[in-house]
Amino acid sequence: MNLLIEMFAYDFMLRALVVGVAIALVAALIGVPLVLRRSSMIGDGLSHAAFGACALALAVGVMPTIPALIIVLLASFLILQISRNRKIYSDALIAILSVSSLAIGVLAISLAGGINIDLNSYLFGSILSVGYEDVAISLILALIVVILYIVLFKKIFAVTFDAEFAKSIDIKVNLYDAIFAAICSVVVVIGMKLLGALLVSGLIIFPALIAMRLVKTFRGVVVAASVISIVGFLLGLILSYVLALPTGATIVAVDLIFLLLAIILDRCC
C-alpha cells in the first residue's frame, strides 16, 4: 500500500495511470472486433505511421501529437479504402505503410541532425512524455467509446460476426469500419507515448486473444478483454516502477504471460 502511495505521489505517474487505464480500456474494446475480423495488424501499421509522423513533426520543430493524429487518421482511412479493393493485398499494404513510415521517420531524424530524447520516447515509450492534454484526450475518448459500445453493442456484434449479413439488414458496415479505424488511430497516437510505437499494438491485440481463450460468448469476451487489459496495464506499470524496467515492455511482457497462462488454462479445462 505504501508503495502505491509513494508511486502515485508523483504527478507524472498519476497522469500515466489515468491515460493508461483509459487507453487500455479503449484498446481492448476495439481490439475484440479487430482481432475477430482479422484486422488487428492495422494497429501495428498505424503505430509505425505514427512514429514517422512524430519524427517528421519533431524534425521541423512542431509538437507531434496533433500532426501525428491527423496523419494516422488519414493512413487508417487509406488502409480501409484500399483494403476494399480486391486487387490489392491489404496485409502487404500495411507492411508497406509500416516500413515506409519507419524509413521516413529515420530520414527525418537524420536530416534534422540525429535522434533526440523526444523521438526515443515515441519509439520505446516513456511515462514522462504523457502530458495533461493526453489525459484530457484519453478520458474523452474512453467516455465516447464506452457510450458508443453500449448504444451500438448489438450492431458491433452483428458486423463482427458476419459483415455480409449485417449489410443485408442495412447496417452501415463501412461506417463502423471507419469509426473503428478512427478510434484505433487515437489509441495508437496516445498509447504510443506510454508504450512506444513498437509495442503499442500489443494493447489492442493481447487482451482480445487472452479473453477469447477464457470466455466463449461475445459479450463475455468484450468484458473480460477490458478487465484483462486494465489489470495487465496496472500490473505492468507497478512492476516497471518497482523493478526500474521500461514501462511499455513490462506491460507487454505481463500481457504475454497472461496469454500463455490462458492458453494453458484453455488446454487443461
What angle is formed at CA 22 by the lines to CA 70 and CA 132, rounded to 5 degrees? 65
157 binds another protein (CB under 8 A): yes
Contact 125, 195 (CB under 8 A): yes
**Closest approach of Cβ 145 to another protein, in Å?**
16
Among 9, 169, 244, 269, binds another protein (CB under 8 A): 169
Identify which of 192, 203, 186 has the alpha carbon closest to the alpha carbon of residue 253.
203
- Residue listed under C-alpha cell 521500461: 246
Convert residues 49-88 into a mask of x (bound to another protein by CB under 8 A) and - (unbound).
Answer: -------------------------------------xx-
Beta strands in 55-211 (DSSP E): none
Angle subtended by helix axes 201-214 and 41-59, to nearest 10: 160
150 binds another protein (CB under 8 A): yes
Q: Closer to another protein at the Cβ: 180 or 218?
A: 218
6 binds another protein (CB under 8 A): no
Among 161, 257, 264, 265, binds another protein (CB under 8 A): 161
Convert residues 196-215 into a mask of x (bound to another protein by CB under 8 A) and - (unbound).
Answer: ----------------x--x
Give me the helices (H) in 37-116, please. 41-59, 65-83, 90-112
Q: Cα separation of 27 and 29, whole Å?
A: 6
Convert residues 85-104 into a mask of x (bound to another protein by CB under 8 A) and - (unbound).
Answer: -xx-----------------
For the chain, the helix, strand and coil percentages under 3-state DSSP, each to the nearest 5: 85, 0, 15
**Closest approach of Cβ 218 to another protein, in Å?**
5
Among 4, 143, 165, 264, binds another protein (CB under 8 A): 165
Q: What are the angstrom distances between the C-alpha of 187 and each of 24, 68, 73, 140? A: 9, 12, 11, 12
Q: Closer to another protein at the Cβ: 11 or 170?
A: 170
11 binds another protein (CB under 8 A): no
Residues in contact with another protein by CB under 8 A are 36, 86-87, 150-151, 154-155, 157-158, 161-162, 164-171, 212, 215-221
